[in-house]
């Protein structure tokens, strides 16, 4: 399929350009013509920027957004939230998961994300038994991506234990569990499940150092020589303490010492690092997967962003628990966490005169592209035609150039989004997904079923 677009304004690798002709073939950009004539091309008014990848999501958690904000008897924490989350997922059928995922993916597209790495660990039936099709739930995630048009990197999760040192998993975790052999079969099933999706990718995700042993981690890595590898690490202080008690080392330090962590890897959160870990992670070439809204919601802590950036570390952003879904909002809170903790301004930019919005956007685009392992990241030949088009008539968009990204990230947020295209196909218009009515209806019915 061929399409020719005419973009009024576009952020190209060479900078901001006007009147850009875009030739698209099979969802990918074939040619870019700055200063093109509009004749014969479909006009896309507004300010086109490359779509941002969302590098970390647990789609099903969208269904419990707002349901864990009531104070409990004492000591509410990440760990009490996790109990609520386990109770919620204990009720979900494959149909529910598909409906919730489709709703979340739709909101991601409306919120400025055009690709997604789904960190998928809800594999089995409510009693912990595998479905007749081991990859049933993976197929549901793929179906939700097909329904919404979201670009998918599916990360089936390897989860085998309940805590450091091969502690047995609890009842709330039984839907997640596999030994390495069954996990590798499941990953094979996930590859089949995505086969019909344009340009989709399958990677793997050992859930966390809590959920694996050194031996099983080595085994699944050895069997998966290519593709992205994601893992949660050092999100909570208790996790750091437990890791030290188990191994004598901090989690990021342990991981960098025991696995060949490189550009294939994405370390989710990596919130609690000392200076040596921060430097070593930056050197490794891995991407730090930051989820500022969820990390704030769960009380995780603040990533050492300024030090990591100064050392050239790569990062991207993810919507994780999906309690609120907004690409510019994740970037804004990333910067604001740094400002609050350092009592300074404009922290995540390097040079005088550099726009923080632009710097955050460029960095998260590069990091998210690496972490999703898809052909993304620029309005340039070879890249998928994934575009977010901001409304040039929005009152906050009166300035131009990088000020547009500052306005998008710090001021207007997702309200500035007019149109979203994935693989050259328009999925969002006037800020709303074209399939919104049906997708929201199915979601509402699923939520009513779950509450019943």
Check binding of 284 to ligand NGQ (CB under 6 A): no
Contact with ligand NGQ (CB under 6 A): which of 57, 114, 153, 294? Answer: 294
Taking the complex as a whole, how short is the minimal distance between the CB of residue 294 and ligand NGQ, in angstroms? 5
Burial class (CB in 10 A: 0-12, 13-18, 19+), 166: middle
> Which of 8/76 has CB closer to ligand NGQ?
76
Check binding of 319 to ligand NGQ (CB under 6 A): no
User: Which pair of structure tokens corresponds to residue 421?
Assistant: 């295209």
Q: Which of 58, 230, 269, 272 is catalytic?
A: 269
User: Which pair of structure tokens corresponds to residue 392?
Assistant: 């040039």
User: Which pair of structure tokens corresponds to residue 104?
Assistant: 């979340």
**CB under 8 Å to 423, separation ≥6 — which residues?**
26, 27, 28, 149, 151, 198, 199, 384, 385, 386
Nearest-angstrom CA–CA distance, 422 and 180: 35
Which single residue is written with the structure tokens 């099933």? Answer: 189
User: Which pair of structure tokens corresponds to residue 435?
Assistant: 């399939």
Pick from 209, 219, 332: which is nearest to 268 by CA? 209
Edge-to-edge order in the sheet of strand 2-12: 28-34, 15-25, 2-12, 42-50, 387-390, 417-422, 425-429, 432-433
Check binding of 174 to ligand NGQ (CB under 6 A): no
The angle at the Cα of 341, spanning 339 to 347, to the nearest 5 degrees, equals: 35
Taking the complex as a whole, how short is the minimal distance between the CB of residue 413 and ligand NGQ, in angstroms? 22
User: Which pair of structure tokens corresponds to residue 176?
Assistant: 């997640």
> Which of 45/172 has CB closer to ligand NGQ?
172
> Which of 147/235 has CB closer to ligand NGQ?
235
The window from 83-91, 317-325, 328-336, 440-448 that contacts Zn ion (CB under 5 A) reads 317-325
Q: Which of 320, 391, 402, 406 is catalytic?
A: 320
Query: 190-209: which residues touch ligand NGQ (CB under 6 A)?
Result: 208
CA atoms within 13 A on the CB side of 10: 27
Per partner kind, with CB cut-offs from 5 to 8 A, the member of ligand NGQ, Zn ion, none near residue 374 is: none
User: Which pair of structure tokens corresponds to residue 270?
Assistant: 């990596």
Contact with ligand NGQ (CB under 6 A): which of 62, 120, 230, 232? Answer: 232
Contact with ligand NGQ (CB under 6 A): which of 235, 324, 335, 418? Answer: 235
Q: Which residue is nearest to Zn ion (CB)?
A: 320
Taking the complex as a whole, how short is the minimal distance between the CB of residue 297 and ligand NGQ, in angstroms? 9
Check binding of 321 to ligand NGQ (CB under 6 A): yes
- H/E element holding 231? strand 229-233
User: Which pair of structure tokens corresponds to residue 348?
Assistant: 């995540």
Taking the complex as a whole, how short is the minimal distance between the CB of residue 89 and ligand NGQ, in angstroms? 9
Check binding of 58 to ligand NGQ (CB under 6 A): yes
Taking the complex as a whole, how short is the minimal distance between the CB of residue 254 and ligand NGQ, in angstroms? 16
How far is C-alpha 295 from the chain's CA centre? 13
> Which of 239/406 has CB closer to Zn ion?
239
Q: Counting every residue, how long is the chain?
A: 452
User: Which pair of structure tokens corresponds to residue 365?
Assistant: 């685009």
Q: Which residues pair with 34 in a beta bridge?
A: 20
User: Known catalytic residue: 269?
Assistant: yes
Per partner kind, with CB cut-offs from 5 to 8 A, the member of ligand NGQ, Zn ion, none near residue 321 is: ligand NGQ
Q: Which residues bind Zn ion (CB under 5 A)?
A: 320
Which residues participate in catalysis according to the annotation? 269, 320
Which residues contribute to the site for ligand NGQ (CB under 6 A)?
58, 82, 208, 232, 235, 294, 298, 320-321
């Amino acid at each position: 399929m061929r399409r020719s677009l005419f973009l009024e304004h576009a952020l190209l690798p060479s900078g901001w350009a006007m009147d850009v002709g875009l030739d698209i073939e099979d969802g990918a950009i074939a040619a870019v013509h700055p200063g093109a004539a509009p004749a014969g091309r479909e006009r896309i008014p507004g300010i086109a920027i490359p779509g941002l990848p969302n590098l970390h999501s647990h789609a099903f958690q969208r269904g419990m957004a707002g349901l864990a904000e009531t104070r409990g008897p004492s000591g509410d924490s990440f760990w009490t939230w996790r109990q609520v989350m386990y109770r919620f997922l204990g009720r979900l059928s494959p149909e529910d998961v598909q409906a919730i995922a489709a709703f979340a993916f739709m909101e991601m597209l409306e919120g400025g994300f055009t690709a997604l790495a789904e960190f998928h660990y809800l594999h089995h039936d409510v009693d912990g038994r595998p479905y007749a099709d081991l990859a049933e739930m993976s197929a549901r995630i793929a179906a939700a991506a097909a329904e919404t048009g979201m670009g998918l990197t599916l990360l089936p999760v390897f989860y085998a234990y309940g805590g450091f040192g091969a502690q047995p998993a609890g009842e709330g975790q039984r839907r997640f569990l596999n030994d390495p052999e069954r996990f590798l079969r499941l990953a094979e099933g996930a590859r089949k499940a995505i086969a019909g999706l344009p340009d989709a990718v399958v990677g793997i995700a050992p859930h966390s150092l809590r959920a694996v042993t050194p031996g099983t981690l080595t085994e699944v890595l050895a069997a998966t020589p290519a593709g992205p590898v994601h893992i949660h690490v050092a999100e909570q202080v208790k996790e750091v303490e437990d890791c030290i008690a188990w191994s004598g080392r901090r989690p990021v330090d342990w991981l960098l010492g025991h696995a060949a962590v490189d550009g294939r890897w994405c370390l989710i959160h990596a919130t609690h690092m000392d200076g040596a870990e921060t430097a070593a992670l930056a050197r490794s070439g891995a991407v730090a997967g930051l989820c500022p809204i969820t990390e704030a919601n769960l009380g995780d802590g603040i990533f050492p962003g300024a030090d990591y950036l100064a050392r050239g570390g790569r990062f991207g952003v993810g919507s994780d628990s999906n309690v609120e879904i907004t690409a510019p909002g994740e970037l804004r809170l990333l910067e604001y966490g740094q400002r609050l903790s350092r009592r300074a301004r404009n922290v995540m930019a390097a040079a005088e005169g550099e726009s923080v919005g632009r710097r955050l956007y460029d960095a998260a685009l590069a990091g998210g592209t690496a972490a999703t392992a898809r052909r993304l990241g620029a309005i340039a030949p070879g890249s998928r035609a994934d575009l977010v088009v901001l409304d040039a008539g929005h009152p906050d968009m009166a300035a131009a150039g990088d000020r547009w990204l500052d306005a998008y990230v710090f001021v207007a947020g997702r309200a500035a989004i007019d149109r979203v295209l994935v693989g050259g196909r328009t999925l969002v218009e006037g800020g709303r997904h074209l399939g919104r009515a049906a997708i929201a209806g199915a979601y509402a019915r699923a939520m009513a079923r779950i509450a019943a």
